[in-house]
Amino acid sequence: GDNIINRTESQGKIRISGRTEKVADGSEVIISCGCPNCASTVDKTAVVQNGTFSMEFDGSELVEDGRHVMIARVNVRDEAGNTAEVSDSQGYTVAIADPAATLTWNKIATDNIINRSEANGKITLSGSIGTLKNGETATVAVKIGSETLNAVVKNGSYSVEADGSKLAQHKQAEAVLTVTDVNGNRAEKSVVQTYQVDTELKQPVIAIDAINQGKILNHQDSLNTVTVSGSLNHDSDVNLAATRVSVKINGETHDATVTGNRWQTSIAGSKLAQNQGANSITVEAQVTDKAGNSAESSQTASYQVDTLAPSTQIVLDNIAGDNVLSHTEAQNSVTVSGKVTGEFKANDALTLTANGKTVQTTVQADGKFSAVFQGSDLAASGSREVKAQMHLRDNAGNTGKAETAVSYQVENAPVTPPPTPPAPPTPKPESAAIHLNQIDPAVMPDSGFIRIGGTVKLEGAFAEGYNKHRLHAVTVKIGEKSYRSVVDPQTQKFVVDIAESDLPSIQGKAVSYEFETDENIYNLVPSTNPGFKYYAQPNETPKLNASHIVLDENTPIDENVFNLSADTSRSVEISGKVSGDAKAGDTVTLTVGKETFNTVVAGDLTFRQSVDSELLADNGSVQAALRRDGVDKATTEAHLSRAPELSAEFVSLHKIDSHSEGGRPYFINSLMVESRGDAFPSYHTKYAPIDFSKEAVLPYKIFNQNNGRYFAFSENDIAGVKKALEHISSYANVRFEEKPSADYWDVAIGFYMTNVKGGTNAHAYYGGSVYMGKHLTENGKSLLDDNPHKILLHEILHSLGLQHPESGLLKMPKEEDTALNSLIAYKDTPTAETQLGIFDVAFLHYRFGVNPNVRTGNDVYRFRPANRHSVERDVYIWDGGGVDTFDASDQTQGVNVNLTPGSWIYAGEKTETFLMTAPYTYLDNHAYFSQPSSVRINGGVGSVRLDNYTKNQAFIGYGTQIEKLIGSDYDDTLTGNNAANAIYGGKGNDTINGGGGNDYLDGGADADKMSGGVGDDTYVVDNTADTVSETANQGNDTIHSYISYILGENVENLHLYGTKDVDAIGNALANVLKGNAADNRLEGGAGNDILTGGKGRDTFVFSDLLSVDTITDFTVGEDTIALSQNVFTALETGKVMEHIQYDSATGQLSYDGNGQNVHFATIGTGLQIDENSFSLI
């Protein structure tokens, strides 16, 4: 039937048939099968019947020896008896070769090993089919035991999902490929894939070595690093690279290093020694075998902590029974005895000293001790005191010292009258001193702006129905400056931000207001038309003036004059107290920046002065001087933590992922052209590659032709094109460059005027040219007119890569699918919008970045009510440069603000859709005036659109970098971007993450969680519940603390702020510790630390001999060096200099406890160091 013999046909019978004309029935037709080059033929004879003939051949006969032609011959005779042979031939194709397709398996479960998890789930079996020719069809069946699964075959691959449990039973699967070619030949090929099943992995067995080698962890251990180690036994097929061991201690997790079957980690001794007595650690191990099975186990180990110095008391019995040495006793031996209680051991050494004579003895098991002195030694002239002393060492290895003394008298000893004491000196009055009280750190977040807000009070008809929606904006004019704000249609509230740099020029200037309203409002009045109750009467909108403004409390406007002193909220009180010979009436001078304030000491020796909070925030410090008769008697200062100067350099570039919808908001995805279902290509990349660091330049040409197909552009049409392109460039970092003489292939966009077909107005190609319908410019119209211009913008957006938001797989929600939000949309176009929509701008910023020449000042952004009269609706935030601030301090609920470009931010809860909760609603008379539908109203308010906007939502556009973030007084989640940010939490329990960059994080009041991420970050701490999280190797980080603080892991520096006497304690790193102007206690701990006390009487603590700390400002007579007797064991009160050496030339302090000098501090050169410079702790 098809002149092709396939393999199946060749194995059966094939009937060869034909027809004849003018051949007598009964004639014999010889049918031969062969070919011109065949060695032989097969001949058969058929008989003509009814003009047809047929004969059956074996299929094998037709395909042997290259045969491919059938010849039919018949002899015919005419009426005259003449004979002739007539023949015909028919070629055919022999196609008996099997299809040559091949079948291969992919590894089952990716590694040909089925693990426990895979055996309990679904496993995709797959492979590839090779050398499949055009026209060949393939099916693949996969056999698992007795079960057969039909695979999906697509693009040269096959796949089918199987139960892992079935696969785990059989350990092999067979794939059977059936290929059918265009000739109907079928071939089967099968390939067996074997695999392993490994579903068992034993729990690892953890052994923990004795912690601290089984010894009690003592004070010295707590200053060092302790190695915690052990072994881990597991199955032999465990993947060692994926083995994880962690040690948990006191709520912290420390990852261990695993080598072979051993693990270990180093933990600061202070972490292990947080609690005295019995402690424990938990070690957890997770292992994964080569099959992917995982197992875990845990083990605990206990250890003892005793970091306290031994507590021992010595009691001496009365000397000679009554503490009086008689004449007889003085001639004999005298036994001195006593008892030791507390921590001691039998045979501990005890030293007794009297009158320069020393006797060694030991303590008995019951604590008693005794020693014999010669009475004459006791009776000799001297101190008449017996002193007992013990050097202690407890079971944990902590060291200490105990001592006591008892005085006695000698009978008949010559009495030396005590010298007449000199007359006491006249008391010298104590020097005057001045102290500042703590200043609230909350004064520091400074946006660089002040806020003026209020409400527009609407009255009469203006306040009825939806008339209040016809008030749109108010402009506050102060002197020559103007500040515009949209008015919330629900509350009539407004707010404007005034840059601090404007304040000098507007102080004392008159304030006036201008209002933006519709021309008319509507009154509901009784109707004169029978059958109607009311008439919606249009009236001219009432004029508004300053009397309609109700300003918020503490606004710096008084009687329509701008007056900063009227804003009492801008003041902060600086207060303190004086002492010594200071007295009431003395003058205290406060200096903040370049401003000086004088106040007088009150009768209770206190003082107070209000200063401008912005001034204090700008300078961050106060100098205070107590003055009398023009002379400073005492000075002090207070510093507040301040963020460093922030840079406006743009570092927050984003990436365009053309193969994923992830990371982009839905309203951008819905405008991106989809290709192959999951790819989102960008257009015009030839002239505008994806590079947000430079301006994109797109060449264009207006093809001003008149050839019957294309038509000329008028001057207004050309102006319309240029206006549209300039409008787009005003938002995005793209410039359109006209190329009048270029060919069409040398421009990115060509503009043509043509006769479009199909009832359309215009069309454009993605990444290509724009074709405008000539009819749009007829009847005196041009591309400058509203509707043609809107259509022009629509088509240009197509060329730039925007698709209709309802046409793709990722559609715009119906609530927001409107031309009012995107010019590329078709829905809801009651008016001709001649400017971009909010989502168009968002897309252009994602594709090209932000125009860097717009909004380049230091701007403040907030959560604002959506405003239909601006392209961005006041909720889409974009900015071209400057150091900018997002300020949420006016919110009445917690906020979630992420400064990363492309972030949807919100106060309270995130809404389901970003901009609108429902489509626009158009109000009739009844809805406008809240009247029931049964009330008949004539007249009409027109088509009044009600905007169903979301609340408390905002979006930071791609290409926009905001540097500063101020939170609310509630629990906020605040996140920075890749720039150096300053983030202030305000009140509330805030969670702050700095992101990239050198960030400044100030959680404010309450308990805050702060994490800086990569960069040299600074944290402000003012609450003991504040937490700071840093990981290793993520920068050189600093704590600014108003409270006593101990540095946590991975933070290098600690600076104290405020006016309180607070402490700074370092960690195991090389720290920089700085005090404030009060009396501070600084302890570096391990590491080579740098200590700076600042003003005040500071104490520098040393409890470690393994590192060398540097004191930068040690002042003899004011500051003190405190030495721990647990480490400096040889020191005694009053005899410190016997073991401490000071090198005046180098400033080095060394300790000699056993004949070897150990350099432990450097404190400055040329100092008069003596016993009074030290204390023992």
In tens, the pLDDT along 586-613 reads: 999 999 988 899 999 998 999 999 888 8
pLDDT at 441: 79
The letter for the amino acid at 641 is S
What is the mean predicted confidence (pLDDT) over 818-829? 83
Per the prediction, the chain carries an average pLDDT of: 89
Distance between CA atoms of 1000 and 998, rounded to whole angstroms?
A: 7
The last residue of a domain, from among 197, 217, 234 = 197
The answer to whether the pTM exceeds 0.85 is: no
Q: Which of the two residues, 98 and 883, has the higher pLDDT score?
A: 883
Residues 6+ apart with CB under 8 A from 323: 406, 407, 408, 409
Backbone angles phi, psi at 967, to 5 degrees: -85, -170
Of 28, 33, 30, 27, the C-alpha closest to 14 is 33
Distance of CA 1017 to the CA centre of its chain: 14
Contact call for residues 205 and 233 (beta carbons, < 8 A)? yes
Same domain, 61 and 116: no
What is the mean predicted confidence (pLDDT) over 699-707? 93
- How many Cα atoms occupy the beta-carbon half-sphere of 804 within 13 Å? 8
The last residue of a domain, from among 585, 608, 642 = 642
Contact call for residues 620 and 444 (beta carbons, < 8 A)? yes
Domain assignment present for residue 922? The answer is no
Q: Is the pLDDT of residue 678 over 70?
A: no
The letter for the amino acid at 371 is A
What ranges make up the beta strands (E) of 216-276? 225-233, 244-249, 252-255, 257-259, 262-268
Of 1123, 1173, 1124, the C-alpha closest to 1144 is 1173
In tens, the pLDDT along 437-490 reads: 888 877 767 667 888 999 999 999 999 988 998 899 999 999 999 999 989 888
Distance between CA atoms of 272 and 265, rounded to whole angstroms?
A: 13
Domain assignment present for residue 921? The answer is no
Number of domains the chain contains: 8
In tens, the pLDDT along 740-774 reads: 999 988 999 999 999 987 678 999 999 999 999 99
Same domain, 634 and 669: no
Domain assignment present for residue 422? The answer is no
In tens, the pLDDT along 1105-1154 reads: 889 999 999 999 999 999 999 889 888 888 898 899 999 999 999 998 88
Q: Is the pLDDT of residue 786 over 70?
A: yes
DSSP string for 274-327: SSSEEEEEEEEEEEEBTTS-EEEEEEEEEEEE--SPP-EEEEEPPGGGTTEE-H
Residues 6+ apart with CB under 8 A from 779: none
Work out the pLDDT band at 419, boundaries 50, 70, 90: low
Domain assignment present for residue 937? The answer is no
User: Is residue 481 classed exposed, middle or buried when 0-12, 13-18 and 19+ CB atoms within 10 A define those classes?
Assistant: middle
Domain assignment present for residue 1003? The answer is yes
Q: Is the pLDDT of residue 258 over 50?
A: yes
pLDDT at 566: 62
Domain assignment present for residue 326? The answer is yes
- Pick left, alpha or beta for residue 942 (phi over 0 → left; psi -120 to 50 → alpha; otherwise beta): left
pLDDT at 380: 84
Same domain, 1028 and 1170: no
Same domain, 887 and 826: no
118-122, 308-312, 603-607: range with lowest mean pLDDT: 308-312
Q: The domain spanning residue 134 has which CATH number?
A: 2.60.40.10
Q: Is the pLDDT of residue 323 over 80?
A: yes
Mode of pairing for the β-strands spanning 324-325 and 409-410: parallel
Same domain, 476 and 523: yes
Contact call for residues 983 and 969 (beta carbons, < 8 A)? no
Domain extent, residue 396, equals 312-410
Same domain, 112 and 260: no
In tens, the pLDDT along 330-356 reads: 889 999 999 999 888 999 998 989 888
The last residue of a domain, from among 587, 617, 642 = 642
pLDDT at 8: 85
Q: Return the structure tokens found at 23.
A: 């051949």
Same domain, 818 and 722: yes
Same domain, 47 and 122: no
Same domain, 469 and 340: no
Same domain, 969 and 1082: no
Distance between CA atoms of 603 and 621, rounded to whole angstroms?
A: 27
In tens, the pLDDT along 1015-1065 reads: 999 999 999 899 999 988 889 999 999 999 999 999 999 999 998 999 999
Of the chain, the percentage scoring pLDDT greater than 90 comes to: 52
Of 1082, 1078, 1108, the C-alpha closest to 1096 is 1078
Contact call for residues 576 and 607 (beta carbons, < 8 A)? yes
In tens, the pLDDT along 500-511 reads: 888 989 999 999
Q: Return the structure tokens found at 930.
A: 């809240």
Whole-number Cα distances in Å, 282 to 274, 835, 1080 = 16, 64, 38
Same domain, 1128 and 1047: yes
Of 610, 607, 597, 596, the C-alpha closest to 568 is 610
Distance between CA atoms of 764 and 1143, rounded to whole angstroms?
A: 85
In tens, the pLDDT along 607-653 reads: 999 888 888 888 888 999 998 888 888 889 888 888 888 999 998 88
Residue 646 DSSP symbol: P
Whole-number Cα distances in Å, 637 to 575, 584, 647, 1098 = 12, 21, 29, 15
CB neighbourhood size of 830 (10 A)? 12
Backbone angles phi, psi at 718, to 5 degrees: -60, -40
Same domain, 46 and 120: no
Work out the pLDDT band at 415, boundaries 50, 70, 90: very low
Domain assignment present for residue 421? The answer is no
Range picked from 370-384, 644-658, 1081-1095 for highest mean pLDDT: 1081-1095
Distance between CA atoms of 859 and 876, rounded to whole angstroms?
A: 14
In tens, the pLDDT along 889-930 reads: 999 999 999 999 999 999 999 999 999 998 878 788 888 888
Q: Is the pLDDT of residue 662 over 80?
A: no
pLDDT at 939: 82
pLDDT at 93: 81
In tens, the pLDDT along 530-546 reads: 889 999 889 999 999 99
Of the chain, the percentage scoring pLDDT greater than 70 comes to: 96
Domain assignment present for residue 650? The answer is no
Q: The domain spanning residue 1020 has which CATH number?
A: 2.150.10.10
